[in-house]
Amino acid sequence: MKDKNRMDQLERFFQHNPIEDPLYLKKYVKEHPDHKMAWYLLGREYAAQGKEGKAAYCFAQSGEIYEAFERQKIAFEGPLPASSSSALHKGAMTTVKSKPSGKGKWLPLMVMLFLLAVPAAMDLAKNEDTGNVPKETFAAAPAAANVPATPKQDAPSGVKLYFSNGDWGNKLQQVLSSSGSGAGESVIMGVPRSEDGKWNEWNRSVKPLISVESHGGGGGSAALKYYQSQTCSCQVADSSKLVPVIANWMHEREQAIVLQSAIQAYQKKTGTLPEKPEQLSKPYPDNLLPGLSPEMQEAFPQAVSKVNEIAKAGKAPQDPVQSADKNEQPKQELKEQAEPSSSQPKASADPLLEPLRIVIDTDKHRLALVSGDFIIRNYPVGLGGEKTPQGEFFISEKVRNPNGKSNGEFGSRGMTLSDTLYAIHGTNKPSSIGKDESHGCVRMQQADIEELYNMVTHETKVTIGKGVLPPSNPDGGNGNGGENPGVGAGGGKPDQSFGLPLQTDDSNPSKKYKWLD
């Protein structure tokens, strides 16, 4: 069967829960007699009802699926439940055991995941509008949040983090097949999709979705945990121990993409790659970043190598706005790695792969910092209506305390757009945020502009347009995805915003700025 036809069948198959809807299974196998997993599930249904003849016929039609799941000596703890999914989803954990046997040692987990988790999870992965079910993206690869770069919390013993982004089934198989026989928990995480389905809203936080906890030993037993109610009809497991771990992971990834973007900006400005971290934080007017954190300095050599690889490969960044207009997700430009985040080089920006960009929506009065189709931050801004120009720009200048003060009309930070009189800057009129009261510039609240200033560099592309960002989410979340005015990613908690040490003089008191405000 061709891959496309197979995927079409899978999508139709998972529009229903086959465990809860045996009648649909019967209809489905009639329409798709070559779908062997459907035959196998229907056979299990008949077997649970004691209809041995019908079960045998279905198992015969399922062929190698039956061979794999029934003749690999897979031992379930307790009998396989009947048709009721409530019995399957009795709790947040389901335990399976298998005898270790080469290629088949991960099959027990795959069976249970297929029977328990996949029907609900695949519905989410398709990013369809399903009423009150939030849309999540799924896949596996590795990376950090809006927490300070203070002493880093280590993950609980044996925990490995995997980031998912659209390829849930294959990545889960990779996680399971690479988990080995050692004890530990492999956590698969995801981010919500935007309401319009075009963006991954990293700013609303990365959350654990499901995990496989291996107990080690010769038996190869493992337990499934569900951390989000939409992935199962069960009581979800406690994820509190994972919250600080994932937060640190997000922060590391954000530092990585900021560092990568700064190196690429340096290369664009000078034609060469930087040799030392200090070259990224020179005094004004060459101040790409205010400074680098210790983690960024340590990751600098690997980040330079990665940027060099990108340049040699001739990979041009994809315009996320164009991608959004086409309702397509940008393809990842670097090869996803199947290893967990704990083994990733610190300079790796996965899953944030593309240089940082700024997108401003004049209809919604929002400014988003994005990498590809990931919205990393989403701030409210003040604009000037028709006075605010639309189109493509770039940051040509960054300055701290424009006109020598932090509380003037331009606030404490300013960034000129394409050497014009337009700029993104702070304001001493915070009540104008969300309104069209400027003379054309983009106004931001102080904590927001200071955080953005820390994350973007010269050469950062800026797109201003109408309807280029998704509707705001009322639940808010890190990075101010909600309707309420934002004050940095910490939502009023400066210690949770993205900060960098000041290691240069990036002020310019000799110049009188006359931005249009």
Reference 69, options 44, 95, 33; nearest CA is: 44
Query: What are phi and psi for residue 401, nearest 5 degrees?
Result: 50, 65
- What whole-number distance in Å separates Cα of residue 285 and Cα of residue 297? 21
Alpha-helix residue ranges (DSSP H) falling in 314-400: 320-325
Residue 133 carries which DSSP code? B
Q: Which residues are catalytic?
A: 425, 441
Residue 351 carries which DSSP code? T
CA distances to 146, 147, 249, 348 from 152, rounded to whole Å, are: 13, 10, 9, 18
Q: Is 144 helix (H, G, I), strand (E, B) or coil?
A: strand
Residue 496 carries which DSSP code? G
- What whole-number distance in Å separates Cα of residue 200 and Cα of residue 190? 9
- What whole-number distance in Å separates Cα of residue 124 and Cα of residue 230? 8
- What whole-number distance in Å separates Cα of residue 98 and Cα of residue 106? 8
Query: What are phi and psi for residue 269, nearest 5 degrees?
Result: -75, -35
Angle between helices 52-62 and 36-48 (to 10 degrees): 160
- What whole-number distance in Å separates Cα of residue 182 and Cα of residue 298? 30
At a CB cut-off of 8 Å and minimum separation 6, what does 497 contact?
Answer: 146, 447, 450, 451, 488, 489, 490
Q: Which stretches does DSSP call E strand in 98-170? A: 159-163
- What whole-number distance in Å separates Cα of residue 380 and Cα of residue 106? 47
Angle CA 11–17–22, to nearest 5: 115
Per DSSP bridges, beta strands 184-190 and 207-214 are: antiparallel
